[in-house]
C-alpha cells in the first residue's frame, strides 16, 4: 500500500493565489447602483448579485478536496477561483445571520464575508477530514464580525443599559417563554428582563424590521424565490458529529482551564468573558479596587492564556478558532 502523499511546499503559491483573488473581484464585490441604471427601473443590487452568483455550481466533497490540493500544492489560481465562486452563496447565508445585528447595508457584510472566503481558500488543508464549507464558515464569520466591531458606531442598538440588555437577550428570552408554554407578550418580557414595555416594543420592532425579504422573486420574470436559490445545504451527519465532539471537548478544556486561574482571574473570566450579560470594567474594578484599564489588561491576559492553552491541548485548534485576526 502506497503511503499518503505529503503536501510539498511551494514558495510561489501565495503569489499565484493572489491572482485568484483578482479573478473573483468582480463577482465577490456585490454591485452598487450607478448613474447608468435607469431611473425608471428600481435597482436592486442584492437581487442582481444573487442572480449573478447563482450561475456557479456547488461542489462535491471530492471536488473540494481535489481543488484544495491544486491550490496548496501548485498555487493553481483557477482552482482557487472555482472554490471561491462555488461558495459565494454560503457567504450570503452567513451574512443574513448577522443582518439583525448590523442593521445597515447587507452588501457590506457580504463583501467582507467574501474576503474571509478567499482567506479560507488559501488556508484550507485538503488533507484534513474537514468539509471546506464548514471550515470556510469560520473565516467568513470572523471577517464579518471584525467588520461589525470595527464599525460598531454605525450599529444603532441603543445607549441605555436596558436597551443593551434587550439587544442581546430579547430573542433568547422570547424563545425561552415559548418553550415554557407562555405567550411572550411585552408585559411578561418586561417583567422577566426588568425593562419597560415601551423598550420591549421598540426593540422588537427594530429587530424585526430589518430582515431581508427572502420571499422576493430572484428575478422579475422568475417564480424562483431567494430562499430557494440559497438552497438547503444542511450540515452533513459527520459535520454535526464533529461539531458536537468539538463542543464537548471545548467544554471539558474550559473546565480544566478554570482550575489554573486565580480566584480574581476566575471571577473576571465568568463575569466578563463567559457571561451573557457581562459586568462593566468599572463594576469589576470597584470590586477589586483596581482601575478599569487594569481590569482590561487582566481580561486580555486571560484570553491570551486561554488561547495558548487550547492550542496546546486541542489538535488543530487554530482551524476551529477560525482565523488569526488579532483583537
Domain edges within the chain: 13-33+41-154, 161-216, 237-321
pLDDT digits (tens, 9 = 90+) for 255-300: 889 999 999 999 998 888 777 677 888 999 999 999 999 998 999 8
Tell me, what's the pLDDT at 82? 95
* 3 state SS of 55: coil
Is residue 79 over pLDDT 90?
Answer: yes
Q: Which helix (H) or strand (E) holds 187?
A: helix 186-193
pLDDT digits (tens, 9 = 90+) for 124-174: 999 887 889 888 988 998 888 878 766 755 454 554 555 656 666 777 788
* CATH architecture entry for 13-33+41-154: Up-down Bundle (1.20)
Share of the chain above pLDDT 90, in %: 25
Contact between 255 and 306 (Cβ < 8 Å): no
* CATH architecture entry for 237-321: Orthogonal Bundle (1.10)
C-alpha cell at 283: 463594576
- Using 50, 70 and 90 to split pLDDT, how confident is the model at 26? low
Contact between 20 and 77 (Cβ < 8 Å): yes
Q: Tell me, what DSSP letter sits at residue 273?
A: I
| pTM for this entry | 0.47
Average pLDDT for residues 96-111, to the nearest whole number?
80
Amino acid at each position: 500500500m502506497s503511503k499518503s502523499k505529503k503536501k510539498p511546499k511551494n514558495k510561489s503559491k501565495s503569489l499565484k493565489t493572489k491572482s485568484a483573488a483578482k479573478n473573483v473581484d468582480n463577482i465577490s464585490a456585490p454591485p452598487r447602483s450607478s448613474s447608468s441604471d435607469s431611473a425608471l427601473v428600481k435597482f436592486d443590487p442584492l437581487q442582481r448579485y444573487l442572480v449573478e452568483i447563482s450561475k456557479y455550481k456547488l461542489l462535491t466533497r471530492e471536488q473540494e478536496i481535489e481543488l484544495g490540493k491544486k491550490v496548496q500544492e501548485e498555487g493553481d489560481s483557477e482552482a482557487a477561483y472555482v472554490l471561491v465562486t462555488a461558495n459565494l452563496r454560503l457567504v450570503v447565508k452567513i451574512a443574513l445571520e448577522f443582518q439583525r445585528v448590523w442593521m445597515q447595508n447587507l452588501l457590506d457584510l457580504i463583501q467582507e464575508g467574501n474576503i474571509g472566503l478567499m482567506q479560507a481558500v488559501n488556508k484550507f488543508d485538503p488533507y484534513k477530514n474537514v468539509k471546506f464549507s464548514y471550515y470556510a464558515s469560520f473565516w467568513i464569520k470572523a471577517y464579518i464580525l471584525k467588520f461589525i466591531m470595527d464599525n460598531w458606531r454605525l450599529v444603532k442598538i441603543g445607549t441605555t443599559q436596558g436597551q443593551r440588555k434587550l439587544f442581546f437577550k430579547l430573542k433568547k428570552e422570547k424563545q425561552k417563554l415559548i418553550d415554557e408554554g407562555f405567550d411572550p407578550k411585552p408585559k411578561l418580557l418586561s417583567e422577566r428582563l426588568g425593562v419597560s414595555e415601551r423598550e420591549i416594543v421598540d426593540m422588537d420592532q427594530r429587530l424585526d424590521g430589518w430582515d431581508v425579504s427572502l420571499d422576493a422573486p430572484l428575478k422579475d420574470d422568475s417564480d424562483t424565490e431567494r430562499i430557494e436559490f440559497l438552497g438547503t445545504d444542511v450540515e452533513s451527519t459527520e459535520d454535526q458529529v464533529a461539531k458536537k465532539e468539538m463542543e464537548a471537548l471545548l467544554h471539558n478544556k474550559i473546565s480544566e482551564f478554570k482550575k489554573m486561574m486565580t480566584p480574581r482571574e476566575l471571577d473576571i473570566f465568568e463575569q466578563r468573558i463567559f457571561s451573557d450579560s457581562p459586568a462593566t470594567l468599572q463594576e469589576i474594578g470597584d470590586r477589586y479596587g483596581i482601575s478599569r484599564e487594569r481590569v482590561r489588561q487582566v481580561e486580555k491576559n486571560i484570553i491570551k492564556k486561554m488561547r495558548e492553552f487550547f492550542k496546546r491541548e486541542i489538535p488543530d485548534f487554530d482551524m476551529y478558532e477560525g482565523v488569526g485576526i488579532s483583537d
